[in-house]
Chains A and B, each alone.
Chain A
């Protein structure tokens, strides 16, 4: 090998390392930002607890008075954690869907999964119609119904895709068909509902992190962790998929298999998120696009980045939802879009790199 060639290779390697380093830097900055926001979130609320008191109650719950303990451990902490987890789940689900469908518009919302969940919840609210017969399930009827319908819609996309070959068009069009079916069914339920029931249905769909409880936080965390472990092993396959089906196949990727598998995983993430807190659009769409703009297409950075940005967005939205009118919670679905859109447009204008290719 000539000296020139060796030099060139060394230069390439140097470039690659530099590039990776910059990406790692962005991820680290994002993680720090999220941590800072999370801590800030913990100090906000009508309870007017100082940082020291928050920290003391967190470290030593038994030593704190009843009210502080309730505020920190029963209200703020589960909600703040849920904002991070659900933001990450939605960002991750959106990123996966955009990747396997090779479509910048794909997210749980556009694939009808959110609408299916909303219909399941509305069914429980309007008719008290549980899908599961067991006694313990009664207290979680709305959540379970939402989850089952979200899974059902993902299942339909999955089955149709298997029958018709798992092409992107099939999946997207099936998803859009599902979206319309469930939004029509939803409208029908709302039409038939009484005034108070209608109010419940509408507000459920607007989303609220106030529904967070420790079991819900636990379920979401476990699922998210599981997804991360599974995905870390196939990140390179997903990166290959973005180069086109043929290129991916040439690299030895079983395109059908990975696409169906990832569809199931991302639907599960979205289903849990929607079932627990209601419909939160936009995070699943924009989190991944922000990550792509700053971190590029390599799934090893893109996926965690999407989750990180999803979590950051939702945490900011959560803080706003409780701060705009002190003592009142605005629906999280509203604040998410209101803060997400300007930030997203800012990135679109400032980051000139073409992020979708």
Chain B
């Protein structure tokens, strides 16, 4: 009997560690997944998921990543170039998957890479469920983790960072970066407390200034939401739920806009005809003012009061899907409410974020005022 008990006890001791080695993680959609204790073979279904990963493993952002996607170099060449400069070997050799919005995920390729986990933006959940990708991955023994940094950046980015921190046993790092962002956001909210509706400037938030017909404006989400958080009224917010819409050029001169803010990024190579604001890591001041000159030459823009008052600003387009949105909100708040924002320096905060949480150095221009 004693021997039997001893054997049982031994068996327990042998199996316990392996049981303990598996753990449960709840993703952003509330799905529970079972993961091995050490996850070291991850596929990023979108390269821009690096935004979430970088603050967690600043010194080696590609650690545990066995493949990513081809979206970043087209959607955000700025960050891609910085990554490629800093980690040329990894960026050039890391296997790539097609973007989930464009092609069906290649489960077979994931298997050949011995992947343990695929990280996906929550926007693709329905698609992956319906096209069988989720089932196939499950049968292949590969877990799928849904996060979000784009649909609702200000709500979902921090929880997503926390979840990935848990997956990678980087809870401390996740907490540090989340605390940093949350503190900056809370500070702006505090400064805007008691702000009356009539003290909120009316903002025309233009999407991708200079690209295509004039002009596309943001609806209530994303940059539209940033404007509201920064103490402004986003003109497009009550027009529709759509992400962005064409404004009637007539409204440009008839609506009493106090401020115009346009987004811009390093699109010059991909789209040479655009007279856009080439903000980003490689931006130069002189070039940016030339961008403003071209943008104010558009039909009717001379007749806009905000342009005449030089209340025309540019902001880095990529803030729309990056944890660094806090810097955009701080900068906008500084433009609209300098007296309330006294003592806050958006650029210093953004620089500090790079020093503490980003794998590459801070340089360039991310927002600008027309001179």
- Show the binding face of A for B, using Cβ within 8 Å: 45-48, 66-67, 70-71, 74-76, 124-126, 128, 138, 141-142, 191, 193-197, 199-200, 203-204, 208, 210-211, 213, 322, 325, 327-331
- Kindly list chain A residues whose C-beta atoms are within 8 Å of the C-beta of B253: 47, 67, 70-71
B280-312 CB contacts (< 8 Å) to partner A: 299-300, 303
B6 at the A interface (CB under 8 A): no
- Kindly list chain B residues whose C-beta atoms are within 8 Å of the C-beta of A71: 250, 253-254
Stretch at the interface among B31-39, B118-126, B264-272: B264-272
**Bound form: Cα–Cα A343–B74 in Å:** 44
- Kindly list chain B residues whose C-beta atoms are within 8 Å of the C-beta of A199: 208, 212, 216
B102 at the A interface (CB under 8 A): yes
- Kindly list chain A residues whose C-beta atoms are within 8 Å of the C-beta of B246: 203, 208, 210, 328-331
**Subset of 16 A-B contacts with CB under 8 Å:** A46-B248, A46-B250, A46-B251, A70-B303, A71-B253, A71-B254, A75-B250, A75-B299, A128-B273, A194-B75, A196-B211, A196-B267, A196-B317, A203-B212, A322-B248, A328-B247
Known: A195-B75, A197-B271, A211-B213. A74 touches B248 (CB 8 A): no
B104 at the A interface (CB under 8 A): no
Size bracket of the B interface: 20 to 34
A200 near B212: Cβ-Cβ < 8 Å: yes
B183 at the A interface (CB under 8 A): no
- Kindly list chain B residues whose C-beta atoms are within 8 Å of the C-beta of A45: 248, 250
| Chain A interface SS verdict (over half) | helix
Q: A199-B208, A210-B213 are in contact. List 7 more A-B contacts (CB 8 A).
A: A47-B254, A70-B300, A196-B208, A196-B267, A197-B271, A203-B216, A329-B245
B216-235 to A contact mask, C-beta < 8 Å, 1/0: 10000000000000000001
B240 at the A interface (CB under 8 A): yes
Q: How far is the CB of A317 from chain B (nearest CB, A)?
A: 15
> Of A70, A197, A211, A328, which contacts B239 at CB under 8 A?
A328
Known: A195-B75, A196-B208. A66 touches B239 (CB 8 A): no
A46 near B300: Cβ-Cβ < 8 Å: no
Q: How far is the CB of B125 from chain A (nearest CB, A)?
A: 19
Q: How far is the CB of B24 from chain A (nearest CB, A)?
A: 34
B309-356 CB contacts (< 8 Å) to partner A: 317
A46 near B299: Cβ-Cβ < 8 Å: no
**Bound form: Cα–Cα A20–B222 in Å:** 61
B95-111 to A contact mask, C-beta < 8 Å, 1/0: 00000001000000000
A75 near B300: Cβ-Cβ < 8 Å: yes
> Interface centre among B208, B211, B251, B255, by most A CB within 10 Å?
B251
Known: A74-B299, A141-B273. A191 touches B249 (CB 8 A): no
Q: How far is the CB of B326 from chain A (nearest CB, A)?
A: 22
B273 near A67: Cβ-Cβ < 8 Å: no
B249 near A210: Cβ-Cβ < 8 Å: yes
- Kindly list chain A residues whose C-beta atoms are within 8 Å of the C-beta of B317: 196
B240 near A328: Cβ-Cβ < 8 Å: yes
- Kindly list chain A residues whose C-beta atoms are within 8 Å of the C-beta of B247: 327-329
Closest 10 CB pairs of A and B: A194-B74, A327-B251, A128-B272, A329-B246, A46-B251, A200-B212, A47-B254, A45-B250, A75-B250, A195-B75
**Bound form: Cα–Cα A71–B250 in Å:** 6
B171-217 CB contacts (< 8 Å) to partner A: 208, 211-214, 216
A195 near B102: Cβ-Cβ < 8 Å: no
**Bound form: Cα–Cα A197–B212 in Å:** 9
Known: A138-B273, A322-B248. A67 touches B213 (CB 8 A): no
- Kindly list chain A residues whose C-beta atoms are within 8 Å of the C-beta of B255: 46, 327
Number of A-B contacts (CB under 8 A): 101
> Of A74, A193, A196, which contacts B300 at CB under 8 A?
A74
> Of B74, B211, B250, B271, which contacts A47 at CB under 8 A?
B250
Q: How far is the CB of B48 from chain A (nearest CB, A)?
A: 10
A323 and chain B: residue at smallest CB distance: B248
**Bound form: Cα–Cα A67–B304 in Å:** 9
- Kindly list chain B residues whose C-beta atoms are within 8 Å of the C-beta of A47: 250, 253-254
**Bound form: Cα–Cα A195–B235 in Å:** 24
A206 and chain B: residue at smallest CB distance: B246
B254 near A124: Cβ-Cβ < 8 Å: no
- Kindly list chain A residues whose C-beta atoms are within 8 Å of the C-beta of B250: 45-47, 71, 75-76
**Bound form: Cα–Cα A27–B45 in Å:** 60
Q: How far is the CB of A117 from chain B (nearest CB, A)?
A: 16
**Bound form: Cα–Cα A126–B102 in Å:** 17
**Bound form: Cα–Cα A180–B223 in Å:** 38
- Kindly list chain A residues whose C-beta atoms are within 8 Å of the C-beta of B270: 126, 194, 197
**Bound form: Cα–Cα A75–B303 in Å:** 13
- Kindly list chain B residues whose C-beta atoms are within 8 Å of the C-beta of A128: 271-273
> Interface centre among A66, A142, A208, A210, by most B CB within 10 Å?
A210
B48-80 to A contact mask, C-beta < 8 Å, 1/0: 000000000000000000000001001100000
A325 near B239: Cβ-Cβ < 8 Å: yes
Q: How far is the CB of A204 from chain B (nearest CB, A)?
A: 7
A139 and chain B: residue at smallest CB distance: B273
**Bound form: Cα–Cα A138–B102 in Å:** 31
**Bound form: Cα–Cα A208–B235 in Å:** 21
Q: How far is the CB of B250 from chain A (nearest CB, A)?
A: 5
**Bound form: Cα–Cα A208–B249 in Å:** 12
Known: A45-B248, A74-B300. A200 touches B240 (CB 8 A): no
B211 near A329: Cβ-Cβ < 8 Å: no
B320 and chain A: residue at smallest CB distance: A195
- Kindly list chain B residues whose C-beta atoms are within 8 Å of the C-beta of A75: 248-250, 299-300
- Kindly list chain B residues whose C-beta atoms are within 8 Å of the C-beta of A191: 102
- Kindly list chain B residues whose C-beta atoms are within 8 Å of the C-beta of A211: 213
B305 and chain A: residue at smallest CB distance: A67
**Bound form: Cα–Cα A74–B303 in Å:** 12
**Bound form: Cα–Cα A203–B242 in Å:** 14
- Kindly list chain A residues whose C-beta atoms are within 8 Å of the C-beta of B102: 191
Q: How far is the CB of A82 from chain B (nearest CB, A)?
A: 13
B212 and chain A: residue at smallest CB distance: A200
> Interface centre among B208, B214, B247, B273, by most A CB within 10 Å?
B273
- Kindly list chain A residues whose C-beta atoms are within 8 Å of the C-beta of B74: 193-195, 197
- Kindly list chain A residues whose C-beta atoms are within 8 Å of the C-beta of B236: 328
- Kindly list chain A residues whose C-beta atoms are within 8 Å of the C-beta of B239: 325, 327-328
> Of B208, B213, B300, B303, which contacts A208 at CB under 8 A?
B213
**Bound form: Cα–Cα A239–B329 in Å:** 66
